[in-house]
Amino acid sequence: MASAGNGKPALLLFRRVDPTFSAALHSRFRVLDLYASCGSLDAFIASAAADADPLRAALVAAGGPVRVDAAFLDAVPSLRCVVTTSAGVDHIDLAECERRGVAVAGAGKTFSVDVADHAVGLLIDVLRRVSAADRYVRRGLWTAQGGYPIASSKVGGKRVGIIGLGSIGSLIARRLEAMGCVISYHSRTPKPSVPYRYFPDARALAACSDALVVACALNDATRHVVSRAVLDALGPRGVVVNVARGGNVDEQELVAALREGRIAGAGLDVFQNEPHVPQELMAMDNVVLTAHLAVFTEESIADLRDLMIDNLEAFFHGNPLVTPVRLQV
């Protein structure tokens, strides 16, 4: 679809992209890039709103500078499509987008395999104390104090509760089941097609689990789904792995439970106030921390680039989005 300017449709870019991704976008669209502008976010949005092109899409990221809400949509009333590079959409007000006729596309299942692998890796690391033992060796303590204390726990046979049995949660379940774990789950509704035991609430799931893996979307129903009550139900030998969103876990209660020995450990890829991580977690040897990188592999980034462009081109040509996101009711 032709547009003002150089004949390419206008795209508002609200996230940093690598040179390959940038070149692919610029070859197809007239890119209005927040990070290439000299002004503030508000000034950039005001400039975009005054642009002559009446039909445009925006490329945004979770954790980026933009929350797509009523105020943002008011500021850019010509926006008709939002494409996010994340699987989660808690930074987008889907109800408001639907009300205004703004289409939304997400990353779909692009990251599912990589996030599942990372979740399993975190669980293995926490249980077997891989990172802690690595630090022990690097500090020269093997020579000075002898072998690392036997503090690890085997993975096989563990009862693993998964919160959220979507595409990521299902892949985590299959991987851990193959390792000899017993899988149970909690989700919004039971899934008759799966062979795992369903629990109607997270506390009941935790009470019957040795490890709790959080793989659900973040919304009003799942914010702080891992609460003090859930952590206490998990108990002093239990561990928590979170590869979903920081807000799914009550971070303050998690820190307290780890500090007081009410749970045994945690593997965390996401945090409530990223990139800020509670200092207490930094000092805990039974906690494994990664920088919200579960989704990122060379392969997933290439797949994401192609998918984002496919969604944008579908929108500008009036075709259905490849990975549409719709409001769940």
The residues carrying an active-site annotation are 245, 274, 292
- Listed in sequence order, the DSSP H helices in 14-129 are 19-28, 41-49, 70-75, 94-100, 112-128
Tokens of 189: 């509704």
Give the C-alpha separation, 127 to 117, whole Å.
16
Cβ density class 41-78: b for 16+ within 10 Å, e for less: eeebbeebeebebebbbbbbbbbbebebeeebbeebee
Backbone angles phi, psi at 79, to 5 degrees: -65, 130
Q: Which residues, listed in sequence order, are joined to residue 197 by a DSSP beta bridge?
A: 184
SS3 content of the chain, % helix, strand, coil (to 5): 40, 15, 45
Which residues lie closer than 8 Å to 41 by C-beta, 6 or more apart?
Answer: 34, 65, 66
CA atoms within 13 A on the CB side of 138: 6
